[in-house]
Amino acid sequence: MKKNIIMLMIICLVFSLVGCGKNTPTDESTITIAAAASLKNCVDDVLIPMFTEKYPDIQVKATYDSSGKLQTQIEQGADIDVFMSASMKQMNELAEKGFMIHDSIVELLENKIVLIVPVNNTKEIREFKDILKADQIAIGDQASVPAGQYAKEALTNLNLWGQVIEKASLGTNVTEVLNWVAEGSADAGIVYSTDAASTKKVKVVAEAPEGSVSKVIYPVGIVKTSKDEASAKKFLDFLQTEEVKKVFESYGFVAK
Amino acid sequence: MQMSPIIISMKTASAAIAFTFLLGIFVARWVVNIKSEKAKMVLDGILTLPLVLPPTVVGFLLLIIFGVNRPIGKFLLEFLGVKIVFSWPATVIAAVVISFPLMYRSARGAFEQIDPDLVMAAKTLGMSERKIFWRITMPLALPGVAGGGILAFARGLGEFGATAMIAGNIAHETRTLPLAIYTEVAAGNMEAASYYVIIVMSISFLVVALTNYFSLKERKYLK
């Protein structure tokens, strides 16, 4: 009986090893992208399929969250090859701390900061000043969400920040902010024009006034601990092709 | 570290347990008395669902109910002027729904463990159903019911997913401890987060210790 069990275990072990050998093609690699939540639709729906069609031997996995949280994850050693941030701040901090390959960092895209309201909004919010008419305001947490930092910058320059923060619900990523407004939970919110373009449930009432907010740059770079730098580099080059620029533009970005 | 998340969390968990406790006992008693086994099974499934579903799914369902663009939420807003979403009561609703199954299951288990002979004996002696419940069933089931209440309180205190979806993250209003921890970690303020974490861990430990105390008492009682 004992012998049988041992035999069975050996057979199982052998089978598992055989399985191993068969299931691992030698020339396939996987890269993991960590991208700002605002890039999700574009990357998931178009860019990854497009890239894997071009490079069938490279698997692309993607994770999306606020750039601040992704920064923390990269600092804690998350297995990430390419970082697409929604703000220079996170990228610069990571670069300074030595987490990024310096010369891989590229300024890829530009986005706009806009004020949105639910489609059937009755609060007569027409410009940034009117934001105080809202009972609840959704913005990104300025401590971790770039869209929130830009919102704070614009509102501070317009002398509205102190009153806005009193009734602000702070989203931990920009998609959460968008959904809060789309569902009508909040009467107004500040997001990127690309987010606003992704749903019919919100209406853009104003762009942040010229000069009130710094330019929203999306940088991209390769993480130093990447196990497959060559594939990551291919992805970065792919992001800068004319073809991909057109895709970005269709999603409301300005390609640099 | 701010005090407001602690106060909000304690307020939310306390208000939630008041509802959950009574609702859980009431519903458990009702389900135990249902004759049809099939109906019992289906009902039990539905009532336990919030325990096994991801809290985000519960949050989604609550949003469908209370969202201002949804029939019920719209009705409440237009006719009663009550906006549930993004208000403090929303944190209580989320906590009640999420913690309810713990209370309900504990109470049901406690009721079902009672020796039916005791209830029968009371019946032969002419006690009314109501009196039997309060004088026989409840005292016998109390340790189990109390344990369930404590677990439900802890679960309500820790509720995060559904809360974020229907109550938002408004400082001094709906930012509970779990949301404060999430916000601080996202911002990289590990130190601030760690204070909140210590508080939550202390309360949770106390709760588990209390539950053990009650189950110990229950075992002694049954002997």
ipTM: 0.74
Number of residues in chain A: 256
- Checking if the pLDDT of A15 tops 70, the result is no
CA distance A107 to chain B (A): 23
Which is nearest to B204 in space by CA: B145, B140, B159, B171? B159
Closest-CA residue of chain B to A185: B85
Residues in A closer than 8 angstroms to B85, CB to CB, are: 183-185
Integer CA distances (angstroms), A206 to A28, A113, A143, B163, in order: 47, 9, 24, 30
CB-count exposure of residue A238 (10 Å: 0-12, 13-18, 19+): middle
Q: For B86, name the nearest residue in chain A, comparing CA atoms only.
A: A185
pTM of the predicted structure, to 2 decimals: 0.73
Q: Which residue has the higher pLDDT, B137 or A4?
A: B137
Distance in Å, alpha carbon of B187 to nearest chain A alpha carbon:
4
Structure tokens at B7: 């106060």
Q: Report residue B194 as tokens.
A: 């760690």
3-state DSSP assignment of residue A105: coil
- What per-residue confidence (pLDDT) applies to A173? 86
Chain B from 39 to 58: CB within 8 A of any A CB: none
**A106, exposed or middle or buried, with CB in 10 Å at 0-12, 13-18, 19+?**
middle
Full 3-state SS string of chain B = CCCHHHHHHHHHHHHHHHHHHHHHHHHHHHHHCCCCHHHHHHHHHHHHHHHHCCHHHHHHHHHHHHCCCCHHHHHHHHHCCCCCCCCHHHHHHHHHHHHHHHHHHHHHHHHHCCCHHHHHHHHHCCCCHHHHHHHHHHHHHHHHHHHHHHHHHHHHHHCCHHHHHHHCCECCCCCCHHHHHHHHHHCCCHHHHHHHHHHHHHHHHHHHHHHHHHHHHHHHHHC
Phi, psi for residue A81 in degrees, rounded to 5: -100, -45
Mean pLDDT of A19-39: 72
Please name every residue paired with A138 in a beta bridge, in sequence order, or none if there are none. Answer: A169, A189
Cα atoms found within 13 Å of the Cα of residue A234, Cβ hemisphere only = 18
Report the pLDDT value the prediction gives residue A249, as an integer from 0 to 100: 86
pLDDT at position A27 is 63
**In degrees rounded to 5, what are phi and psi of residue B81?**
65, 25
Contact across the interface for A141 and B189, Cβ inside 8 Å? no
Q: Give the number of A-B residue pairs with CB atoms closer than 8 Å.
A: 72
Q: Which two tokens stand for residue B54?
A: 């991801």
Interface subset of B 148-187, CB within 8 angstroms of A:
164, 166, 168-171, 174-175, 182-183, 185-187
Query: Which chain A residues have a beta carbon less than 8 Å from that of B187?
Result: 68, 141, 143-144
CATH architecture of A113-207: 3-Layer(aba) Sandwich (3.40)
- For residue A145, the model assigns a pLDDT of 87
DSSP state of A14: H
Q: What is the DSSP string of A153-185?
A: HHHHHTT-HHHHHHTEEEESSHHHHHHHHHTTS
User: Cα(A172)–Cα(A181) distance, rounded to whole angstroms?
Assistant: 14
Fold for B4-222, please state it. Answer: MetI-like fold (1.10.3720)
Nearest by CB to residue B187, choosing from A138, A143, A167, is: A143
Shortest alpha-carbon distance between residue A135 and chain B (Å): 10
Mention every residue, 6+ apart, whose C-beta is less than 8 A from residue A219: A84, A85, A88, A91, A105, A106, A107, A108
Positive or negative torsion for Cα A188, A191, A193, A198? negative
Best A178, A183, A199, A202 residue to mutate vs chain B (most B CBs within 10 Å): A183
Identify the three-state secondary structure at position A29.
strand
Tell me the chain A residues in contact with residue B67 when contact means C-beta distances shorter than 8 Å. 183-185
**Min distance B20 CA to chain A CA atoms (Å):** 25
Give the domain ranges of chain A: 27-109+217-255, 113-207
The predicted structure's pLDDT at residue A162:
92
pLDDT tens track for B46-104: 999 999 999 989 999 999 999 888 888 888 888 888 889 999 999 999 999 999 999 99
pLDDT at B42 exceeding the cut of 50: yes
**Distance between A106 CA and the closest CA of chain B, angstroms:** 24
User: Tens digit of pLDDT for each residue in B141-152?
Assistant: 998 899 899 999
The residue behind tokens 């130093």 is A224
Q: Which class for B145: exposed (0-12), middle (13-18), buried (19 or more C-beta within 10 A)?
A: buried
**Residue A195 to chain B, least CA–CA distance (Å):** 18
* Of A196, A213, A221, nearest in space to A148 by CA: A213
In this predicted structure, what is the pLDDT of residue A24?
Answer: 45
Which residues lie closer than 8 Å to A31 by C-beta, 6 or more apart? A58, A59, A60, A61, A81, A82, A226, A228, A231, A232, A235
Reported as a single tens digit per residue, the pLDDT across B5-32 is 999 999 999 999 999 999 999 999 999 9
pLDDT of residue A14: 66
- Contact (Cβ atoms closer than 8 angstroms) between residue A145 and residue A66: yes
- The reported pLDDT for the residue numbered A21 is 47
Pairwise CA distance, residues B105 & B50, whole Å: 12
User: Could you give the CA distance from residue A142 to residue B183 in angstroms, rounded to a whole number?
Assistant: 10
For residue A72, the chain B residues in CB contact (below 8 A) are 185-186, 188
For residue A185, give the nearest of B86, B175, B183 by CB distance: B86
Question: If you measure CA to CA, which chain B residue comes closest to A76?
Answer: B188
Angle at CA of residue A30, ends A35 and A77, nearest 5° = 55
Residue pair A48/A250 in contact (Cβ under 8 Å)? The answer is no
**Residues B174-198 pLDDT 10s:** 999 999 999 888 878 889 999 999 9
Cβ of B169 and A172 within 8 Å?
yes
Q: Does domain A27-109+217-255 have CATH number 2.120.10.30?
A: no
| pLDDT for residue A23 | 46
Q: Are A123 and A206 in contact (CB under 8 A)?
A: no
Q: What is the pLDDT of residues A197-243, one digit of tens each?
A: 888 999 999 999 988 988 889 999 999 999 999 999 999 999 999 99
- Average pLDDT value for chain A: 88
**Cross-strand pairs, A59:** A30
Q: Is B188 on the interface with A (CB under 8 A)?
A: yes
Q: List the one residue out of B35, B27, B20 whose CA is nearest residue B93.
A: B20
Q: Give the Cα-Cα-Cα angle B81, B83, B84 (nearest 5 degrees).
A: 135
**A36-74 pLDDT per residue, tens:** 988 988 999 999 999 999 999 999 999 998 898 899 999
Could you tell me which residues are beta bridge partners of residue A115?
A190, A206
